[in-house]
Structure 1
């Protein structure tokens, strides 16, 4: 997908600049025509000669130096680029881009560009989560910039947290995806993810172990396929995807309300959330004190969101999940009929390697008038892409 693509790699001044050299190399190996622009600070970490050797092209770092007198370099590169990638993107560079400041080669070039721009932040976790940086990233996303979420791990500053530049192989895979066909272009996809919380009192509640990883991966896959995606999620710790609309909820009733608000205009709806089946009949406004002897809490059924969506379905493709510990096929087939869904994705949550919170999953998809399709154990990211492809075919 990257063969003969003109990619401008803009390198910011951070320790992760060394990964940008590996990224440039892998992009060239993938067949892309790579030009590199660097900030002055970036050259404190990696020299221009490194990138020139990897790309076999001149490296740009000064808006007043023209390599070809017949061209204005920053305008020419902006016009030629099929994609601009900023990696690593420092807090300073993100702030400049968000506010339209053009005071060096990179910022002036991006301001003149009409092609897609991808920004990969990399910095200390506290800098990343500072309100100013958060605002700047939100502004970039509002302007149509694609942000790649940084990874979590050991940072060069000694902190452990979010802020790592993804590995070059991951970045190349993400960038390749931007040039893939968009079968869900002009389609609307609604997805739920994570657990719900049913409160007993202000500090106690009923919930489950769902991490939301599967639903979030599905949202990313649908976005990459070109869809307009809305993700309704319960309390999750996972990083939420960029380029989609997110709605945070807590209880099952709140999730139902959020799902119904956008339901009529959807083409594909996927209920991947693990919604609590029961809630306390009484919710106390104050923390209940410990009593002598056993405590009994009366429970009542929550509203069945998937069944409600099935009853109101018009032309949407409706997908539900069946998290089971036994008799997967039997329970999935029954759920398919009872909830009036088009597909049920069944998985065994009793297995630690594919259950809640795992990075991998193994599922079987049961559909109306469709043979069962089994997907072997694999990463939730890859599985999500395969599932979105299957459900997209049902939209045709």
Structure 2
């Protein structure tokens, strides 16, 4: 991740939400980014939509997904991502002119930074860039052991989980990364875990006082609790099944979170998302992105049987969503297929790898001559998001009076 997040939404609505997010999530002294006026995206970037709010995110997921299935990304695509790094080591969502130093008012965020680390660490040859960003992430760790979307913001489950994945991808031991208050990221994650029973029993909330889209934060946190990033393979079978059990450990919380997801998916095989603000249709819509993330989380937890139904649903129904949403969506599906052992080149009749490759510069290794999928790297390689810029959108929803799964709304064509 994440994460964005990811359900299809109008691009205009995504842009409005992106500005609200940046304004709400950023400290008062930090100005929100201005949408890119040019309609021509940088030549090394995947996707043709305005990259202002998700450029680094979608590029990171695209490159990571390609690497996972043995496709060598185009050199200029990798260079574009690495070139987005600021002198501090942090990554913004996007900066239009990478030849100039980052403006002091340019919002920096943990989600873009952590996603970039996961991608660049997996690709190799970017050790200095990765080390510098990891150093920045450590420097903005909150006293409770977690991370918020923006430096100084309250910790949230999604941001904390994505950073854990980045630390693991960079060869760090997340449980050894302690805040000035002596807290680890796993201790922070436990503060978002809900006890069994009730509406959200077993789930991870975005923040204790701001639940957010619970399936989104839960999918992210299950991977974080396992010390994993966006790229996972099947974990050992969870003999506890889908029963939520009282626990005070991060391992127990991961089981309960996965059990919550399994229960939510059991009836229809997919998750839902609330309607966009101002929508004429009040009905909930299928949430493709969070469903893909849930497949990854269930597989990592060792609940592969429970992941089969949502995986099949995605194979049958996700093609139009991915085509409309762009590279990050294709990447999410590739990572879900990889986790569950499905072939992303024949995913419900869609060659996800070829479709992703077509959204940006031609890879060094074509999809037709790619190597077998890679085995998991450091148990993280990381959906996210694979996740999206989850936290930011929920923070924005508070200020704007809306509640949506943000990281999934920011994907561009």
TM-score, structure 2 as length reference = 0.25
Q: TM-score, normalised by structure 1?
A: 0.26
Larger radius of gyration: 1
